[in-house]
Amino acid sequence: MWPFVKHVSIRADGVKNRVLLFFPAVDEPLSPKRKYEFPLSLVALVPNLLKKNFRVHLFDERVQFNCRHQIEALLPDTICFGVSSMTGFQILRAIEMVKFVRNRSSVPIVWGGWHVSLLPDQSVRSEHVDYLVRGQGEQTFSELTEVLANGALADLKNVQGITYKKDGEVVETSSRPLIQINELEPMPYSFLDIRKYRKYYSYVSSIGCPMHCGFCADSVVYHGKWSALEPKRVVEEIEYLVNRRTRNQAIYFIDSNFFVNGRRVEEICELILKRGMKFRWLALGHAKQMARYDDHFFELLHRTGCYRVLIGAESGSQRVLDYIRKEATVEDNYTFVRKAAQAKIQPDLSMMCGFPTAPEEDLRATITFMNEAKRICPTTKLKLFFFTPYPGSPLYEQALKHGYKPPNSLEEWSSYMLHKLNMPYLDQDYEKLVHFFVDVYYKKYAGKSKLDWDKFLRMAREAKGFG
């Protein structure tokens, strides 16, 4: 039986026992018509807190628009206010909520998530942060909460994986070793009103990734290690979810790389077939691995309900793929598209442009690649992003060498948006071209028809006014 906890016991020792968790909005506008991914980064904290008899309240600003009044009413009995956020807009929204809480309570503010894990020293210096949790938060946050509840602040030094301020100085405890995912509790989805989220269950079957893409901070946080749930546990947990007879009858494996171990994936699929489970699913992979799996592998995915696989194709230029350490070839991307299409699985490719050393011909190669991918499989879904230097990644260091000026504080990072250009190392004409590429691709073409390079350049020059 999956531990969907509905009732939380109350501590009888007179100690405050309430913990508030807040997930900020990721972008604007907020609307009840929009559907979002589950806030699993916070949901994952719940089981360990419940084991210690803390009362947990989780607020997701994206689906609870008027949660401030509820939060204010709960503050008097609260041990700490936990916030998770990614770089950019979420930091902005988190700071706004922290200010609201600060004006009404002296409750300690604890931050977690990728951004503060990668820049702990800078982040903790903000007036909006009291403590921060680095890396995996499940055990670290529960231990920190217990120390705060008991008021034994001298014990903070014994909590691995935290950073905080003491007498105006930054204190960083030793890092906590990576906890194997099989040692972690299942996600308590009952803490969420799943009707307010996307029509599938976001599910984590592994953490980390053995690849070392230069733009990704995953290898920094998890040190290039990969830890995966045993196939039997995966199938038992997703069977419980799809049998709950909700509208969420699909599973989205949000692992950074679900397909690292092909034999493990095959075992999961074989167990799904053996149990006669009927549901749809999608997952993320890497081109190098996917291109090397045979047709039988793809057929097995399709038979178990896989309808879509997402990979980071990144660029149509091999020079760029080598530069960003993708460990894949342009032909690997094409091979994946062919094999997926043959198995009636939709290929979903994400692309990036505007790398520190990317001249115009790389952009041309990417457009050529997009057109060819659409020719091979007309249903191929393509996404295009600007390269944005992310702290902790190898390409972030390269961007610094090429003149990139990063924000200097948590507050400045709040205006650091991934959909905006942050490429001072590119000349002005190229920057205009990149802007127009994104605008043209998304607004006019979006893969509906072939985009001729010469026509694109002519349109861009006429619209942006450069020669």
Same domain, 79 and 54: yes
Same domain, 308 and 451: yes
- Look at residue 13 and tell me if it is in a domain: no
How many domains does the chain contain in total?
A: 2
- If one compares 424 and 110, the residue with the highest pLDDT of the two is 110
CB burial of residue 45 (10 Å; 0-12, 13-18, 19+): buried
Q: Give me the pLDDT at residue 9, please.
A: 36
Q: What contacts 426, CB < 8 A, 6 or more positions away?
A: 354, 358, 434
- Look at residue 325 and tell me if it is in a domain: yes
Single residue among 153, 172, 191 that ends a domain in this structure: 172
- Look at residue 255 and tell me if it is in a domain: yes
Pair type for strands 18-23 and 55-60: parallel
- What is the number of alpha carbons within 13 Å of residue 460 lying toward its C-beta? 22
Residue 166: pLDDT band by 50, 70, 90 thresholds? very high
- Look at residue 4 and tell me if it is in a domain: no
- Look at residue 427 and tell me if it is in a domain: yes
Same domain, 250 and 310: yes
Q: Which domain holds residue 394?
A: 181-464
| pLDDT single digits (tens) 85-120 | 899 999 999 999 999 999 999 999 999 999 999 999
Same domain, 155 and 243: no
Same domain, 65 and 187: no
The pTM of the full predicted model, rounded to 2 decimals, is 0.90
The span from the CA of 438 to the CA of 428, in Å, is 16
Q: Which CATH number fits the domain that encloses residue 51?
A: 3.40.50.280
426: left (phi over 0), alpha (psi -120 to 50) or beta: beta
Same domain, 299 and 410: yes
- Look at residue 3 and tell me if it is in a domain: no
Residue 239: pLDDT band by 50, 70, 90 thresholds? very high
- Look at residue 27 and tell me if it is in a domain: yes
Q: Which CATH number fits the domain that encloses residue 366?
A: 3.80.30.20
- If one compares 100 and 357, the residue with the highest pLDDT of the two is 100
- Enter the tokens of residue 43: 């949901």
- Look at residue 62 and tell me if it is in a domain: yes
**Three-class DSSP category at 408:** coil
Taking CA 351 as the corner, what is the angle to CA 347 and CA 355, rounded to the nearest 5 degrees?
A: 160
H/E/C letters for each residue in 237-267?
HHHHHHCCCCCCCEEEECCCCCCCCHHHHHH
CB burial of residue 261 (10 Å; 0-12, 13-18, 19+): middle
Same domain, 240 and 383: yes
Q: Give me the pLDDT at residue 10, please.
A: 39
Same domain, 339 and 455: yes
